[in-house]
A and B are shown apart, each in its own frame.
Chain A
Amino acid sequence: MKKFLSFPLLITLLIFIGCEKEVTLETPDVTYTVATDDKGGTLKLEWDEITDADGYIIYADGEVIDTVTELSYDATTPAALYEVSAYAGDQESGKDRIDCGAVETPSLTVYGSSDPDTTHPSGFGFNAQGNAVAYSISNQNNWPLIDYWIYSTAGGATIKFVSPSDRTPPLNNEVNVTKNSGQSNYDDVKIADPPGGYSTQTDVRSGAVYYFWIDPTNNGWDASTDHFGKIQVQGINGVQLTLKIAYQPIAGLRWCVVE
């Protein structure tokens, strides 16, 4: 009789286990904003709740850096790629990606203003894709496109990154600034300093890495028109400079990790 009773119980248990609903997790749809409180040092990620999710996994450049149950995450570790997935038990959804990498221009040649060849470019700016483009200032049509001008004295005794507004006559009204990072390893520079200590004129040294801050409206930091990045002076030959540049396309974000 006992055996007869335990058989239906076993069957019922098996039915319950077999009928457990399989969870299908949707991929979170992540949006981002640049935090204002630390002036571009933090990227705030947000998403809607995913049904049945136990929590969310945060990846930075492919590595898991955190697991959260909230619907937002303040990303303070500079990276080129953030991803967010939902999880339930040992199941994981697809990952939504936020590309926050800096756009790199591997090599840009520019010349100081004292270069005898006036067709040589002594200014540079950034196009819509974030690539640096060198411009000759002997063509006034280029002036509005220039974000930085290279000033030099004869022979290159002094060379400076100069805001286009600081030239006489000015190239345009943008008050763009630079700051020596104090570092010489390009890859080690992952985030530009917050506002403070940037100058409209900075002496150029071979090998040094500089932060740059493009502030076209000269209204202090903002997340609508400002852009940050880094410049390494790879070589100086007379008044000729070879630069390696990384430009952060997300307005206001100070991260400069290259994709």
Chain B
Amino acid sequence: MKNLATLLIIVFAFAIIGCQPPQQTNVVTTEQLDAVKSEISALKNQVQNLQTALDSLTANYNAHLDKYHKGMPKPPAGGGTGGGLKTPTQK
């Protein structure tokens, strides 16, 4: 009789343990997901804008070099304090 009661208790305990709902893991809600997507989209736009600005600056720099510094002698080879030359003037 004692053994039966013990068995019942054990079965009951297992039943209770087995019926526990699974513990919740990290769950991302739909709202959070949407917020992250939105943030990523904004960052992508910012990178795109930076790329456009950089392209524009590069183009302006190259145009300036072509216009004002084309054909200018390079600094002397072989080290030294260097420095280039402007176009000479007479007076």
Contacts and interface: CB of A to CB of B under 8 A. Distances in A.
A126 interface: no
Interface in B60-91: 72, 76-86, 88-91
B42 to A, nearest CB: 42
Contact of A199 (B72, B79, B90): B90
A198 interface: yes
Given A114-B76, A116-B79, A154-B77, A175 B89 contact: yes
A118 B80 contact: yes
B89 A200 contact: yes
B82 to A, nearest CB: 6
B7 to A, nearest CB: 97
Interface in A98-131: 112-116, 118, 122
A136 to B, nearest CB: 8
Contacts of A112: 76, 80
A254 B83 CA distance: 31
Interface residues of B, number: 16
A155 interface: yes
Contacts of B72: 168
B77 A114 contact: yes
B90 A113 contact: no
A155 B90 contact: no
B88 A199 contact: yes
A168 B75 CA distance: 9
B91 A177 contact: yes
A114 B85 contact: no
B80 A116 contact: yes
Interface of A: 112-116, 118, 122, 136-138, 149, 151-155, 160, 162, 165-169, 175, 177, 195-201, 215, 220, 239
Q: 7 closest A-B pairs (Cβ-Cβ)?
A: A154-B78, A114-B76, A201-B88, A168-B84, A114-B80, A116-B79, A154-B77
7 contacts: A112-B80, A115-B79, A118-B81, A154-B78, A160-B85, A167-B85, A168-B83
